[in-house]
Amino acid sequence: MVTPLRVVIALCLLAPFVAMLWVGSYAKVDPTFIGIPFFYWYQMLWVLISTALTMVAHQLWRRDQRARSTTKGGAAR
Amino acid sequence: MNDGVNGVALGVFIFFFLAVTVMGFLAARWRRAENEHSLDEWGLGGRSFGTWITWFLLGGDLYTAYTFVAVPAAIYAAGASGFFAVPYTILVYPLIFTFLPRLWSVSHRHGYVTTSDFVRGRFGSKSLSLAVAVTGILATMPYIALQLVGIQAVLDVMGVGGGENTNWFVKDLPLLIAFGVLAAYTYSSGLRAPALIAFVKDALIYLVIAVAIIYIPIKLGGFDDVFAKAGDAFGQTNPATGKPRGALVPAEAGQWTYATLALGSALALFMYPHSITATLSSKSREVIRRNTTILPLYSLMLGLLALLGFMAIAAGVKVTNGQLAIPQLFENMFPDWFAGVAFAAIGIGALVPAAIMSIAAANLFTRNIYKDFIKPDATPKEETRVSKIVSLLVKVGALVFVLTMDKTVAINFQLLGGIWILQTFPALVGGLFTRWFHRWALLAGWAVGMVYGTVAAYGVASPTQKHFGGSSKEIPGIGEIGYIGLTAFVLNLVVAVVLTFVLKAVKAPEGIDETSPADYTADAGDPGVQTELPPATAGSAH
């Protein structure tokens, strides 16, 4: 069943794939950060971004599961 | 480089090595269960590990000594193209977030120890299960061998055992001792040994990286200087190829390779038996999901580690064997005692995955070859005994591999192993979500992927090697250079889909599926799931 919540979860999980597989978007030297070329620090930054996105997906998923078990429990009673 | 033994570094190294040896043997008593003679106990640590132990175990398992040596070595050799390990490990976690909890649930419901157990149960096909098991064992063996290569690199730089003029026995003695000890405590303690040692390994690794990433750039004049020098070095023409040695960012032509390598490797990582062993040893679904959000910390470390490759260039480290670049950098830059700590980190970093890998391969053999084909009525006690012995044989095999053959053979096989293991993806992950695929179609797809991948990799030449010179090749029909494993995987999937339509049309027997939809979402505490009660699991109580 597609709910808005699940669409958001899917987007959180898909975003890193789009960002990382589109190599052309980050294959450049400038701007550098404390001397590190863009190519390197940008990808390391994405480690943090994708971690945050996975955490969001995780929290939303738990909410989704709670909502589902509540409806199920209600129906059984 | 072999300018005598570095006594202080060696002393520190031996100290840490002895410490983890003691821990390895004591691990048998850690969280001991009543019935220790079952594969669940020896091979999965009683399936009882919580979030933090699982985190250390998986981290110790996936980010191996070879990774620590090989990733910066690749950067040292060619620059940007070696950095694909970072997007690769970024993509792994959102990916496993989707399917790993399902595998955990169905495995706990049915007592599966290996991925092949699941494939057999899901598709009712022993031949498909055998294919997955054999692929897993074949892919794991060279990986274990490469852990030894990692230890060897460290021993070489410390000046022990590496000399060409000594006889083979003296030369390989340190390695033999390290491996004998590893084999002994894996045998006696099972998965608990690497789980406990992983704490030490990771503490050391994080310490070394933190120090290296701050201390070395300061000594070298900052990152600006490091990258300027590296850029100059990469710009110089390599006499062997007539092209520049490397680049700071991938050129247009290299971008497909970069992306396909990252994606293909990410898809493959959790097909490896050792990743699954560490996953199934956790005590609940929630532990796994939570781990997908904390494991990326290791990816950050890997990224920083990769940068050490540039520092090795800037520091003027000159080695013919790129794998010695990082150990040599440590030896040149750090005071002796801290170099010893760094070497211990790499050495212990090899022991943890080697132990888990040999356990995983042994479990596959026991469950999916011995029990399915040789002795169907084996008791749990017998299973454990066979697994313990096989774990020894696997390690001896890896040792013979490294000592008798050229190092490049192990590296070639590991490259092939990555391509091969990816071919089990449709059966495993496909099976976790749908029963639509036909078992024979999956088997045919697997075979096509294996053959294509092997032939294609054989045909890749490099300036130094006629065959297996690399893992990427022109993708048929697209014309760009891409990772062979991913091309083989796409072929595999196409064959599986087409043949499934055909086989369903002719009503070929589907096989019995022993799982039910509810099995895939079961959590610890649900009826039929055999674990201790988990601490507060979301959604289960009101």
Please give the pLDDT value at position B479: 74
Please give the pLDDT value at position B242: 65
If you count residue pairs, one on A and one on B, with CB atoms under 8 Å apart, how many are there?
117
d(CA B296, CA B50): 18
Q: Which of A27, A44, A54 sits opposite B250 (nearest CB)?
A: A27
Please give the pLDDT value at position A74: 43
Q: Which residues pair with B473 in a beta bridge?
A: B482
Sign of CA dihedral B476, B481, B486, B488: positive
Q: Does residue A11 or residue A65 have the better pLDDT?
A: A11
A77 lies in a domain?
no
Please give the pLDDT value at position B2: 45
Residue A73 pLDDT exceeds 60: no
Report how far Cα B440 is from the mean position of its chain's Cα atoms.
29
Range of the domain at A42: 4-70
Please give the pLDDT value at position B459: 80
Q: What percent of chain B has pLDDT over 90?
A: 13
For residue B78, report the phi and psi dihedrals to the nearest 5 degrees.
Answer: -135, -5
| Polymer length in residues for chain B | 542
- Tell me if residue B275 falls in helix, strand or coil: helix
Compute the average pLDDT of residues B112-123.
90
- Tell me if residue B509 falls in helix, strand or coil: coil
Q: How confident is the model at residue A18 (pLDDT cuts 50, 70, 90)?
A: very high
Write down the H helix ranges in B281-335: 285-294, 296-314, 325-333
Residue B162 pLDDT exceeds 70: no
d(CA B74, CA B67): 10
Q: Which of B94, B300, B540 sits opposite A13 (nearest CB)?
A: B94
d(CA B210, CA B175): 28
Report how far Cα B415 is from the mean position of its chain's Cα atoms.
12
Mean pLDDT, rounded, of chain B: 82
Instruction: Say if residues B354 and B104 touch (Cβ distance below 8 Å).
Output: no
Q: Give A69 to chain B, closest Cα distance, Å.
A: 6
- b/e per residue B438-472 (b: at least 16 CB within 10 A): bbbbbbbbbebbbebbbebbeebeeeeeeebbebb
Q: How many domains does chain A have?
A: 1
Please give the pLDDT value at position B540: 31
Please give the pLDDT value at position B444: 94
Burial category of B232 from C-beta neighbours within 10 Å (exposed 0-12, middle 13-18, buried 19 and up): exposed
Instruction: Say if residues A39 and B83 touch (Cβ distance below 8 Å).
Output: yes
Q: Which of B25-29, B90-94, B216-220, B291-295 has the lowest mean pLDDT?
A: B25-29
Compute the average pLDDT of residues B394-417.
79
Please give the pLDDT value at position B33: 62
Residue B22 pLDDT exceeds 50: yes
A41 touches chain B (CB under 8 A): no
A21 lies in a domain?
yes
Compute the average pLDDT of residues B88-93.
91
Please give the pLDDT value at position B31: 65
Compute the average pLDDT of residues B89-95.
91
- pLDDT tens-digit profile of B512-542? 888 888 888 877 666 566 543 322 222 333 3
Q: Which amino acid is at B101?
A: P
Q: Which of B55, B95, B249 to mutate to test the interface with A (most CBs of A within 10 A)?
A: B249
d(CA B497, CA B438): 9
Q: How confident is the model at residue B301 (pLDDT cuts 50, 70, 90)?
A: confident
Contact A20 B262 (CB under 8 A): yes
d(CA B383, CA B362): 10
Please give the pLDDT value at position B420: 92
Residue A72 pLDDT exceeds 70: no
d(CA A32, CA A41): 8
Q: Does residue B77 or residue B86 have the better pLDDT?
A: B86
For residue A36, report the phi and psi dihedrals to the nearest 5 degrees.
Answer: -90, 130
B179 vs B45, B148, B200, B398, B432, CA distance in Å? 22, 8, 18, 10, 37
Compute the average pLDDT of residues B123-152.
87
- pLDDT tens-digit profile of B228-257? 888 888 877 766 666 777 778 887 778 888
Strand segments, DSSP code E, in B164-313 are none
**Which is nearest to A43 in space by CA: B323, B262, B232?**
B262
Residue B128 pLDDT exceeds 60: yes
Residue B47 pLDDT exceeds 70: yes
Domain B8-511 has CATH 3.30.460.10: no
Please give the pLDDT value at position B531: 47
Residue A3 pLDDT exceeds 50: yes
Q: Give CA angle at B115 (B109, B121), nearest 5°.
A: 55
Judged by CB atoms within 8 Å, which residues 9-38 of A form the interface with B?
12-14, 16-17, 20-24, 27-29, 32, 34-38
B76 vs A45, B209, B248, B295, B296, CA distance in Å? 22, 17, 11, 26, 24
Compute the average pLDDT of residues B100-129.
89
Cβ–Cβ contacts within 10 Å for residue B407, how many?
17
Domain range summary for chain B, segments of one domain joined by +: 8-511
Please give the pLDDT value at position B204: 87
**Which is nearest to B74 in space by CA: B341, B257, B294, B347?**
B257
ipTM of this model?
A: 0.89
- Tell me if residue B482 falls in helix, strand or coil: strand
